[in-house]
Structure 1
């Protein structure tokens, strides 16, 4: 029987009972996956750029909403939270990588059929979990701002940055906020780094997928922590210049994550 999810989008009633085998990886495996992800992007740049551009447009829309709503001081927390949604932006990229493994030329029809099939399946539950953490993080960020600076609105984003950089309360806010943001990001990373490609590749439920992802992180904690740091650093640098770097960063990281998934989960 194929490990592939049903193409009609139905839940996998006969899901695999035995959890997937998880292999340990080294830091060199992490770097090798990143190198291979870059080569994969060079070999199939067009589809990757499209998915990356869509993700970047989502970031721009989020930034526009924050400024229009007078919540520009939430831009940095929003960028951190937006990184949590990266694994779902890469679903189409995982399908491209899967098709290329089989020697099949990726087409928009094949990619979109997979995305449609996954839309009503276990992946939707994973998206719900991630969105819940994202919303909890944004509410926590707003609460921190209220605790440290009161409920007054800041007239400009520059005023808010100046307050952080020039006051003791600002520095304390920056440290605590980044620590909480890093914790939230690592929780989402641990739940999704393997689970999202696994749900695309095999007939498993989302709970099994999340547990497999957690086992992968627990089996190779230091290398996976390195990978989490690399992913966040690349996304942050790519997002800072008006999200202009994301059309390249997203496909490279997506293809690299698929390569890493293949190293961790036994066939």
Structure 2
């Protein structure tokens, strides 16, 4: 199967005052489902590597939950999130490398995927720190919203509803911001070795130009996360690698390429 060329939108930002922005293509509404199909094909072609990364992505939230339950010390959540936000981009890079190697007709290996984290390490660390800052900011805002709840009110749905609604709206805003910033940033950094500003602005531009298809992709990711939590994180063994592989194919399908590339 090949990634066919799509028309480059005339309103794609090709330059900015901060950094170069790589143009994107116009996506169809069903493209995210095609990425999932290609991602599933990668799972079938690299089951052992998929299991390796899937177990890691499953173990991290399980370990955080276990430590909180064991110690009763909820402050452990913050340092755990800090670690995950910093190493998350590097774990994702390993999955992207697997898809990239399959795309090139190579046999992916664990060592090759691990070495992928060194391709653009400085800017990948920068992405991790950027996501970390946003996460800490969100935690502080959430604490403020929680502090606004009057202690004298009974904790029932009627009293909690305004604060739950406010928290949901603010949380959705932060989630959308992170999605804009990061959806294709890591694959861009890994393959093109551009700076962080170029990768972030390119990702944001791609989402803005393709609002509806990218919202479908965001809902797919949110659904995968929701299923993972409902299953006690067990579903992450498959779902996280699937999303990782599909993201690579989404990047290839969305960001303008210098030459046509085929996925055999």
Length-normalised TM-score, structure 1? 0.78
Asked if the contact 1:52–1:246 (Cα under 8 Å) also holds between the matched residues in 2, the reply is yes
Deviation string 1:15-61 (CA, Å, 9 cap, x unpaired) is xx853221121211111112221222122122122112112211122
Would you say the 8 A contact 2:46–2:108 is kept in 1? no
Alignment partner, residue 103 of structure 1:
105
Unmatched runs of 5 consecutive residues or more in structure 1: 1-16, 152-161
Give the conservation status (yes or no) of the 8 Å contact 1:56–1:246.
yes
Match of 2:183 among 179, 193, 196: 193
What's the offset of the Cα at 1:85? 8.0
Mapped to 1, the partners of 2:117 and 2:102 lie a distance apart of: 17
Corresponding residue number in structure 1 for 2:4: none
Counterpart CA distance in 2 for 1:169 and 1:85 is 39
* Deviation per residue, 1:206-227 (Å, 9 max, x gap): 0000000010011101111111
Instruction: Provide the aligned C-alpha RMSD in A.
Output: 2.8
- Of 61, 64, 74, the residue aligned with 2:63 is 61
Gaps of 5+ in 2: 1-18, 258-264
- The within-5 A match list for 1:1-267 is 19-67=21-69, 68-71=71-74, 88-118=90-120, 120-148=121-149, 150=151, 163=155, 166-267=156-257
Question: For 2:235 and 2:150, how far apart are their aligned partners in 1?
Answer: 32
- Tell me which residue corresponds to 1:154: none
Quote the Cα distance in structure 1 between the aligned partners of 2:165 and 2:74.
Answer: 20
Tell me the CA shift for residue 231 of structure 1: 0.4
SS at match of 2:148: helix
CA contact (8 A) 1:97 1:258 kept: yes
Partners of 1:104 and 1:235 in 2: how far apart? Answer: 30
Q: Is the contact between residue 189 and residue 195 of structure 2 (CA under 8 Å) also seen in structure 1?
A: yes
The answer as to whether partners of 1:191 and 1:214 remain within 8 angstroms in 2 is yes
Determine the C-alpha separation between the residues in 2 that align with 1:125 and 1:113.
Answer: 18
TM-score, scaled relative to structure 2: 0.79
**Cα distance, 1:150 vs structure 2:** 4.2
Distance 2:189 2:234 in 1: 30
Quick one: distance in 2 between partners of 1:168 and 1:65? 33
SS of aligned partner of 1:90: helix
In the other structure, the counterpart of 1:11 is none
How many angstroms does 1:243 deviate by?
Answer: 1.1
Number of matched pairs: 233
SS for the counterpart of 2:233 is coil
Residue 149 (structure 1) shift: 5.4
